[in-house]
Amino acid sequence: MTTTSVAAAGPTTERLRTLVAAIRETVDRGLPPEPTARLVAERLVPHLGAPDLLTPAQCEPDPAHYRQHVLHAEPDGGFSVVALVWLPGQSTPIHDHVSWCATGVHQGEEHERRYQLVPDGPSARLLVTEDVVNGPGEVAAFAPPGDIHSVRNGGDRTALSLHVYGADITRLGTSVRRVYRLPADR
């Protein structure tokens, strides 16, 4: 399994505080997970690529594996905002999540491979359903079940993305529910 480097929340920017308030307003509507994730993804769009969104420290990579900077965790556990910084070639294992998620690419590009879990006799296998490349300003949203994927920086420069999870990952320690080590077919 790929290890993640986690950096704790530090100073924040005015733009990030504005984004967190918009996310809070959306989450507080109490909608089901899928529409919440889609609406939160829409809230990310105007902030992606803005030079005043993150501090320089929140953009720092780790040479060994992608780095996770926790930017905000809502006190009631309703959501967390994380910046993921990826050097070229860094990736996640195939995994799913504990909650809904909205992501947006701030710089660079992320290559995502999506999977479907397929029964195969007494066990199961994974079927590749889609390969997606998200560039700056592009967002994605998903909710369990059916949110199995892997993500990597397939570009030649640092990638940075914002991830909003519908859970307090500082309390849980991770957004990952399960890592899959099953055979995968196209």
> Cis (ω within 30 of 0) for the bond into 145?
yes
Q: What is the per-residue pLDDT for 106? A: 97
Range of the domain at 150: 5-185
Q: What percentage of residues in the chain have a pLDDT greater than 90?
A: 71
pLDDT beyond 90 at 162: yes
> Length of the chain in residues, anyone?
186
> Which residues 6+ apart lie within 8 Å of 150 measured at CB?
91, 92, 93, 94, 95, 112, 113, 115
pLDDT, average across residues 59-80: 94
- The answer to whether 12 and 71 are in contact (CB under 8 A) is yes
Number of domains the chain contains: 1
pLDDT beyond 50 at 163: yes
- Domain with 37 in it: what CATH number? 2.60.120.10
User: What sign does the CA torsion over 176, 98, 23, 12 have?
Assistant: negative
In this predicted model, which residue has the larger pLDDT, 122 or 166?
A: 166
Instruction: Give the separation between CA 164 and CA 82, rounded to whole angstroms.
Output: 6
pTM here is 0.88
pLDDT beyond 80 at 2: no
Look up residue 67 and give its two tokens.
């780095």
Q: What is the per-residue pLDDT for 1? A: 37
Q: What is the per-residue pLDDT for 178? A: 83
Question: pLDDT tens digit string along 112-127?
Answer: 999 998 888 888 889 8
pLDDT, average across residues 6-16: 71
- The answer to whether 136 and 60 are in contact (CB under 8 A) is no
Q: Any bridge partners for residue 149, and if so which?
A: 95, 114
Among 61, 47, 60, CA closest to 13: 47
Average pLDDT of the chain, as a whole number: 90
